[in-house]
Amino acid sequence: MDKVKVSIAGGSGYTGGELLRLLLFHPNVEINQVTSESNYGKLVSKVLPNLRGCTDLKFTGIAELEETDLLFLCLPHGSSMKGIDNFKKIAPKIIDLSGDFRLKDKDEFEKWYKEPHVNPDVMQEFVYGIPELHREEMKTAKYISSAGCNATTTILALHPLFKNNLVEEDKTVVEVKVGSSEGGKQSSFASHHPERSGSLRSYKPTSHRHVAEMIQEMSFGKDIKIHFSATTTDSIRGILATSHVFLKEDLAEKDIWKLYREAYGKEPFVRIVKEREGNFRYPDPKILSGTNYCDVGFERDPYSNRLVVISAIDNLMKGAAGQALQAFNIMHGFDEKTGLEFPGLHPI
Amino acid sequence: MDKVKVSIAGGSGYTGGELLRLLLFHPNVEINQVTSESNYGKLVSKVLPNLRGCTDLKFTGIAELEETDLLFLCLPHGSSMKGIDNFKKIAPKIIDLSGDFRLKDKDEFEKWYKEPHVNPDVMQEFVYGIPELHREEMKTAKYISSAGCNATTTILALHPLFKNNLVEEDKTVVEVKVGSSEGGKQSSFASHHPERSGSLRSYKPTSHRHVAEMIQEMSFGKDIKIHFSATTTDSIRGILATSHVFLKEDLAEKDIWKLYREAYGKEPFVRIVKEREGNFRYPDPKILSGTNYCDVGFERDPYSNRLVVISAIDNLMKGAAGQALQAFNIMHGFDEKTGLEFPGLHPI
Amino acid sequence: MDKVKVSIAGGSGYTGGELLRLLLFHPNVEINQVTSESNYGKLVSKVLPNLRGCTDLKFTGIAELEETDLLFLCLPHGSSMKGIDNFKKIAPKIIDLSGDFRLKDKDEFEKWYKEPHVNPDVMQEFVYGIPELHREEMKTAKYISSAGCNATTTILALHPLFKNNLVEEDKTVVEVKVGSSEGGKQSSFASHHPERSGSLRSYKPTSHRHVAEMIQEMSFGKDIKIHFSATTTDSIRGILATSHVFLKEDLAEKDIWKLYREAYGKEPFVRIVKEREGNFRYPDPKILSGTNYCDVGFERDPYSNRLVVISAIDNLMKGAAGQALQAFNIMHGFDEKTGLEFPGLHPI
Amino acid sequence: MDKVKVSIAGGSGYTGGELLRLLLFHPNVEINQVTSESNYGKLVSKVLPNLRGCTDLKFTGIAELEETDLLFLCLPHGSSMKGIDNFKKIAPKIIDLSGDFRLKDKDEFEKWYKEPHVNPDVMQEFVYGIPELHREEMKTAKYISSAGCNATTTILALHPLFKNNLVEEDKTVVEVKVGSSEGGKQSSFASHHPERSGSLRSYKPTSHRHVAEMIQEMSFGKDIKIHFSATTTDSIRGILATSHVFLKEDLAEKDIWKLYREAYGKEPFVRIVKEREGNFRYPDPKILSGTNYCDVGFERDPYSNRLVVISAIDNLMKGAAGQALQAFNIMHGFDEKTGLEFPGLHPI
C-alpha cells in the first residue's frame, strides 16, 4: 500500500513531539517534513530525547513546507487561523490540533477566547475531532480540528447523558485535575519545579475556554450549563474529570451501565471502568500514559439524584496527538487502532 | 503558671504523633502519658522519627492510663464511643479526635456510618470542634469532639454563605483533593507506593461520612444538600476543597469579600487568599504543611450564578491535631495561637 | 511462521505482569498459560489494570502447568531452584527471571545470599542473561537466567572498561538510585505511601546481592572490587547508576568515546548518551519507562584519574521482562527488537 | 534584652526568604530592612506566600540600606565580593550566605570558580561558617561566610574521620542527591516541571565548586581527594550525601560509633542516626524539612575496608539560612537553638 505523506508544522513542542513519535512507528505513514522555528536545522533526536536512535529527521522551517498529502498543525494559539489559507495550498487534508477551528460559531469563539477570529468563514469547514461523535463525517473530511483535552475528557463522560436528555440542563458541575504538560513546553515561574511540584493550584476556577466546545457538542438545541473548574496536580500527563450531573428521572446503576454500553460498547478507545474493588476500580490517568484510551466510570449517589461520572485520559494522547492520529486513520480507511496499540504500563 | 497535665490515648499514629509533637513544644503543657498498644514500652523517638532528640518519653498501654487534667483520644474509629465511660473517670476534660462524637443525632450517625452508636446519650455532651463556629461554647466545655478534616475544609469555606442564607439549598457540589496521610498509618496494597504514587483515585465519589457534619453545621433549619466527592492525589499532607455554590441573588466579588472579612477578619487561623497573580493566588495546601491555617478564596463565575470557593488545610493540623490544640487553648484561656505559630515553609 | 507457545509461572507480580504485557503484543508468541496462586481463576485484566480490553486470559495454578515450548519463571526468590526439576519436564526451554541461577559458583551464591543453594548442579546449565555479553551462547541456549536489574545497569556501564583492563581493580564505587517497583508488588509499612513518597532511603549501603553478578561478569580472572550502595528515590520505575572508576592510564574523552562505540555501536538497546547541553544530556531513567534501552554516558574528572560513568534503565524492562524477551528473541532467531520497539515517552 | 537590629540584602529568593521567616520569629531580633530589586516596594507577604499574615514588611532597594547591627547577604553569586567595602560601612557584622568568601585561598577560588576573585584581601577576614568546626572563632567573629549546602552535608559526615587521620587520602567518593530548591528561584527550561519532575539528572558528575570547601576544611595539611558527584532528584528540599571512605585500619562499628559520639555527642544539631530497623533507620532528608539538623549515620562494608557514611540536611536550613542563624546566635551569645527549635514533620 502506498504510504500517506505527512508533514507536521510545529513538531518540537509536547503535542507535536508526541505526534511525531506516533507517526514514526505508523506503518502507513511517511514523514515528509517537521518544522520548528526555534530548533531550525537541528536533529529531531537532539530535541526530543525519547527519539534518540529512532530517526535521522531534522527540523525545517515553516516557510519551507512543501506540498504533501496531509498536514498536521501543532502551532501556538492563533497561528492556524492566521495561516490557514496558506496551509490549504500545501495540503489537501489538514488536521489542526489547536483551538482555532474547534468552534462553529464566531460569537461563541469571541465570547470564550476574548479575541476576534481572523478567519471565521473557515470555521464551518472543519469537523470537530472526537471520533466517537463524528466518525462518519471524518471518513470524508478534508479538515479536522482535534478536540481540546479537557473537552474530550468531559464530553466522552457526559455525551450519552445529554444526548438522551437525562440530566437537568443547568446544574452540571465538572472539575478536571490536570498535569503540567497541559501547559506546554514553555517554562515560566509558574512551572518552576520548586513552585509547581506538590502543588494543587486552582488555575482556572471559572471561564475555561474548553467549556465552549462542551456546550457546542452536548446542547442538542437546549440551553445547557457546564459549571467547569480546573485544578493542576503534581502529575505531568493525565486528566481526571469528576462530573456531577443531576438526573431528571431515577435511573439505577444498571440503566446507566446499559446507556454507556450502548454508546461505547464497540468503541476501540473508550473503556467502561467500574469495578467493586481494586486500586483502579475507577478511571485513573496514572495507567493511561502513552495510550489513546478514555476510561469512563460512574457512581450513583444513594442520597440524591446525583450521578458522578469519572473519566480519565492522557492529555497528550487521547487529548491531542493520539486522537488526531485516530482521526487520521478514519480519514484514510485504516484500522482505527493502527499506531495506537500501546496498552500502557503498570506500575508507572 | 501551673501547667496542664495531659495524656494521649493513641499517640503513635499520624494524628496522635502530630499532636504529641505540638504538645512537646507547648509552654503550658506537661505530658503525662502517651499510649500505643503496638509500640508498648518503646521510646517515642524510635517510633516517631521526627522527634529524635526531642523527648525521652516511652509509650505505655491504654489500661495503664492514670488520672490527668485532660485526655486526648486519638484512637481508631469506634474506640472512643466504646470506652467513653472509662475515659471520663480518667480525666475531667476530654478532646476526642475520632468521628464518634461529632454528630448530635443518633439517626444521622447511623445513616452515614452504617452502624449503631453504642453510646448515643453522650453525643449531646460534646461540643463540635471547629473554634470559628463554637468558640464561646468551648470556653466552658468539658468535652470537645474535634471536627473531621474534610468537613473542616468544607465548612470553613461555606459556613458564611449558608449562615447568611445566600445559596440555593440543593445544588452545592464539593470535591476535595486529599493526600495519603488521611488514610492513616496502616499500610495496605491501596497505599503501596508503586500503586499510589502518581495516582488520582476517586476513592469516595459519593456517601462520604463527613457530609453528615457539614449538614449538621450548615443547615440552619433548612433541608440542604452537599453533593460531595473525594479524590486522592500524590500528596501526603493537605486538602484542597473546590466548592461550587449557586447564589440566590447576584452578589459582586466585593460583596463576597465583605462577607468573608466579617466572618474571618479577626480569626487567627483563617486567611482570605485571593490575589490577582502569583503561583499562590488561591489557597494551596502545598504551603500549609505544619501550619494550623485554613486558607479560603473564591471566584465568581461571570457566566452564571455560580460561586467557586476554594479552601485548603493541612489535614493533620487544622484537620486534626492543630485544631484540637486550638480548642485546648480556648478551653484553658491560653492565647489561641500558643504552640501553633509555625508559618509553614516555601518552597516545600 | 509457527508461533512459540509460552507459559509464565508467576504472572501477576510486577515483573510477570510486564512480561505478559510484552508477550501479548509479540507477533511470534502464543501465550499458553499464566499462573498466579493468589489470583487463581481471576481474569488477568482484573488484576493487571493496564491490560483491560487486551486479553481474555485467566490465571491458572502452577500445579496445572502443561507442556509448552518455553517457560518463563517469574517466581519469588528460591522457588526456581526448588522447582527446577519439575519445570524442566514442562518445557525444553526456560528463562528464569529470579536470582536463583545467575551465579555459576555455589560458594559465591552462599556468600552473598546467606543461604544454601538447593540445586547447585544446575547452576552451570544456565546462560547469564545479558545479551550484550552472551549473545552467541544464547543462540543455542536451553536455559537462560535473566540478569539482576542493578547488575545490568552497572555491568553495561563498566564492562568495556574492565574487559580492556583500564581501571584500578580495587577502587570502583557504584551507587544506584532505584524506584519502588524494584521492591515488588507486596505492600508493607516500608512501601506505605506517606512513608515512602519523597524519601531518599539508604536501603542497602553495603552487601547487595547483585554485586556477585557484577564480579562474576567483570573479573576476567582478576580480583576486583565493586563498592556498591543502593538508595531508593521517589520514582516507581527506573534505575540510575553512578559509577566511579579510576583509570590506570590517562584516557581522554575521545578515547572513551571510542571504547564505548566499539562495545555498543551496533547494539540495538544500548545508547551512548553524552551531549553538551540539554536536560537529558546524560542518561536519565525518566524517559526510559516502558523501553528496553540502557543509556550509558560518562564524564572525565579533570582533577583526577576518575571517570564517572552514568547508566540508566527501566528496571522492569531492560532490568527484567524486556531483557528476558530480548534473550527469547535471540534464542529463537527473531529480530532482537521484536516486541520491544516502544521508544518511551517525553515528557512523562 | 535589647534586640539585635538586622537587615537582609536579597530577601526574596529562596535562601533569603527562609532566613527572613526564621528572623521574624526570633525573640532577640528586630528586622530593620529587607531588600529585593525585582520586588521593590512590594509587601513581603505578597512575594513569600508562607508569610501571609506574619509581617507587614515591604521590600526596599539595596541602595537604600541604612546602618544596622548586622547585615545578612543573600545575593547572587559575585555580588558580595563586589560590594563588600560598602557593606562593611553599613554594618559592623556581616554574615554572607554566598560562595564568595568561603575559601581562604585566591588560587583555589579561581581554580574551582573559573573566574578571578575581585576582593581577595578580604577572604581571610571571614570565618568559615560551620559552627561544629569553628564555634570558638565565631564567638568573636565580625564576618562569617556561611558554608555551601553540599559542603556542609559532606563535611559533617567526614570531618571526624579526616581529622583523626583514619581514611585513605585519595580514594574518597561522595555522591549527593539534591532537590530542586538548590537551584534557586530563577526558572528555566531545566526547572520546567514536565522536564524536571521525576527526573534523576546527573547535573554535576565532576568539578563541583563545593569540593574546594571540603578540601579546605578536611585536609589537615595532607593532599586529599574528594571525588564528588551531584545528582538531582524529584525533591524540592533536602540533600542526601552517600560518602564512601576507605579505612586505613580496621575499625569495628563500635569504634566508629565512639568517634562520632565524641565529635557530635554534645552538638545540638547533629544527630547520629543508625538503627537496626525502621523506615528512617538511616538519615533521610524527607523528615528534615524546616529543621536545622544534620543527621549522620554509617555502615561498615563487611567485604572490604569501605565505610559508607550517610548524611542528610535541609539545604535551605542547615545548608543555608538555618546554619547562618545558628552562627548568628553564637556570635551574640544567644542559646544556639534560639529560633531553630522546629523538629520537623512526619509524615511529610
In single-letter form, the type of residue at position A33 comes to Q
Contacts of C49 in chain A (CB under 8 A): 278-280, 287, 346
Residues of D in contact with B53 (CB under 8 A): 271, 293, 343
Active site members of D: 149
Edge to edge, what strands does the sheet with B226-232 contain? B201-204, B226-232, B172-178, B239-246, B306-313, B294-300, B270-272
User: How far apart (Å, rounded) are the C-alpha atoms in residues A179 and B84?
Assistant: 46
Searching chain B, which residue's CA lies closest to the CA of residue A236?
Answer: B198
Q: Is A121 exposed, middle or buried (0-12, 13-18, 19+ CB in 10 A)?
A: exposed
Does any CB of chain C come closer than 8 Å to the CB of residue B193? yes
Q: Which residues in chain A touch residue D181, judged by CB atoms under 8 angstroms apart? A: 194
- Would A342 be classed as within a structural domain? no
- The minimum CA-CA distance between A95 and chain C, rounded to whole Å, is 22
Please count the residue pairs, one from chain B and one from chain D, whose beta carbons lie less than 8 angstroms apart. 80
Which of A200, A301, A312 comes nearest B285 by C-beta?
A200
Residue C217: how many CB atoms within 10 A of its CB? 22
Asked whether residue D342 is assigned to any structural domain, the reply reads no
| Domain of residue D22, residue span | 4-147+317-332
Question: Is the CB of C46 less than 8 angstroms away from the CB of A275?
Answer: yes
CB neighbours of C232 closer than 8 A, spacing ≥ 6?
C177, C178, C179, C180, C182, C183, C196, C199, C200, C201, C203
Are B241 and B183 in a shared domain?
Answer: yes
Asked if C301 and C246 touch (Cβ cutoff 8 Å), the reply is no
Are D112 and D256 part of one and the same domain?
no
End-to-end distance of chain A based on CA atoms, in angstroms?
37
B120 and B183 together in one domain: no
Residues C236 and C123 in one domain: no
CA nearest to D238 within chain B = B348
Which among B254, B273, B274, B271 is positioned nearest to B263, based on CA atoms? Answer: B271
Residues A115, A258 share a domain? no
Contact check, Cβ <8 Å, D202/C285:
no
Residues B24 and B127 in one domain: yes
Residues B138 and B175 grouped into a single domain? no
Pair D167, D224: CB distance under 8 Å: no
**Contact call for B344 and D50, based on CB within 8 A:** yes
Q: Return the CATH number at C186.
A: 3.30.360.10
Domain match, B164 and B184 both: yes
Min Cα separation A38/chain D (Å)? 14
Q: Please name the residues between 304 and 333 in chain C that touch chain D, using a CB distance below 8 Å.
A: 304, 306, 308, 310, 312
Which residues in chain C are closer than 8 Å to A50, comparing Cβ atoms?
Answer: 287, 343-346
Q: Do A195 and B347 touch (CB under 8 A)?
A: yes
Note whether C41 and C124 are same-domain residues. yes
Same-domain check for residues A237 and A283 = yes
pLDDT on residue C173: 98
Tell me if A275 is assigned to some domain. yes
C-alpha of C249 from chain center: 31
pLDDT string in tens for chain D (348-residue length): 689 999 999 999 999 999 999 999 999 999 999 999 999 999 999 999 999 999 999 999 999 999 999 999 999 999 999 999 999 999 999 999 999 999 999 999 999 999 999 999 999 999 999 999 999 999 999 999 999 999 999 999 999 999 999 999 999 999 999 999 999 999 999 999 999 999 999 999 999 999 999 999 999 999 999 999 999 999 999 999 999 999 999 999 999 999 999 999 999 999 999 999 999 999 999 999 999 999 999 999 999 999 999 999 999 999 999 999 999 999 999 999 999 999 999 999
pLDDT value, residue D1:
64
CA angle in degrees (0–180, nearest 5) for B295-B299-B301 = 155
Strands (DSSP E) along chain A, which ranges?
Answer: 4-9, 29-34, 70-73, 93-96, 126-129, 143-146, 172-178, 201-204, 226-232, 239-246, 270-272, 294-300, 306-313
Residues A203 and A119 in one domain: no
Max CA distance (Å), chain D: 62
CB contact under 8 A, B197 and C197: yes
Q: Are D309 and D158 in contact (CB under 8 A)?
A: yes
Task: Name the residue of chain B whose CA is nearest to C236's CA.
Answer: B194
Across the interface, whether the CB atoms of C346 and A280 are under 8 A apart is answered: no
Domain identity same for B176 and B271: yes
Chain A interface, best mutation among B113, B176, B178, B199, by max A CB count within 10 A? B199
CATH code: domain of residue B79: 3.40.50.720
What was the pLDDT predicted at D2? 86
Please, which chains are in contact with A (at least 3 CB pairs closer than 8 A)? B, C, D
**Count of residues in chain B:** 348
Contact B175 A171 (CB under 8 A): no
The chain C residue lying nearest D237, using CA atoms, is C198
Question: pLDDT 10s per residue in chain B (348 long)?
Answer: 689 999 999 999 999 999 999 999 999 999 999 999 999 999 999 999 999 999 999 999 999 999 999 999 999 999 999 999 999 999 999 999 999 999 999 999 999 999 999 999 999 999 999 999 999 999 999 999 999 999 999 999 999 999 999 999 999 999 999 999 999 999 999 999 999 999 999 999 999 999 999 999 999 999 999 999 999 999 999 999 999 999 999 999 999 999 999 999 999 999 999 999 999 999 999 999 999 999 999 999 999 999 999 999 999 999 999 999 999 999 999 999 999 999 999 999
DSSP string computed for D182-250: GG-S---GGGBHHHHTT--EEEESS--THHHHHHHHH-TTS---EEEEEEE-S-SS-EEEEEEEEBSS-
Of the partner residues C52, C290, C341, the one whose CB lies closest to the CB of residue A345: C290
Q: Which chains touch B (3 or more CB pairs under 8 A)?
A: A, C, D
Residue-level pLDDT at D65: 98
Counting as contact any 3 or more CB pairs under 8 A, the partners of C are A, B, D
CB within 8 Å: A345 and C289:
yes
Taking only the tens place, the pLDDT of each residue in A73-125 is 999 999 999 999 999 999 999 999 999 999 999 999 999 999 999 999 999 99
* Residues A219-248 pLDDT 10s: 999 999 999 999 999 999 999 999 999 999
- By C-alpha distance, which of B239, B105, B214 is closest to B162? B214
Find the closest chain C residue to A280 by CA distance. Answer: C49
* Distance of alpha carbon A262 from alpha carbon D241, whole angstroms: 58
ipTM higher than 0.85?
yes
D348 touches chain A (CB under 8 A): no
Is residue B339, in this structure, part of any structural domain at all?
no
Q: Specify if B338 maps to a domain.
A: no
pLDDT of residue C241: 98
Query: Could you list the pLDDT tens digit for every one of the 348 residues in chain C?
Result: 689 999 999 999 999 999 999 999 999 999 999 999 999 999 999 999 999 999 999 999 999 999 999 999 999 999 999 999 999 999 999 999 999 999 999 999 999 999 999 999 999 999 999 999 999 999 999 999 999 999 999 999 999 999 999 999 999 999 999 999 999 999 999 999 999 999 999 999 999 999 999 999 999 999 999 999 999 999 999 999 999 999 999 999 999 999 999 999 999 999 999 999 999 999 999 999 999 999 999 999 999 999 999 999 999 999 999 999 999 999 999 999 999 999 999 999
Is B341 inside any structural domain? no
3-state helix vs strand vs coil in chain D, percent to 5: 35, 25, 40
Asked if B200 reaches chain C (Cβ–Cβ under 8 Å), the answer is no
In the set B54, B74, B149, B294, the catalytic residue is: B149
Q: Check CB contact of D86 with chain A, cutoff 8 Å.
A: no
Give which of B235, C47, B207 is closest to A280, Cα–Cα. Answer: C47
Residue to substitute from A200, A206, A208, A228, interface B, most B β-carbons within 10 A: A200
Looking at the structure of chain B, the number of domains it has is 2
Answer whether B301 sits within 8 Å of A227, measured CB to CB.
yes
In a domain, C173, yes or no: yes
Residues 6+ apart with CB under 8 A from D335: D329
| Residue C149 among the catalytic residues | yes
Angle in degrees, CA D52, B343, B270, rounded to 5:
60
Active-site residues of A, by number, are: 149
Q: Is C133 a member of any domain?
A: yes
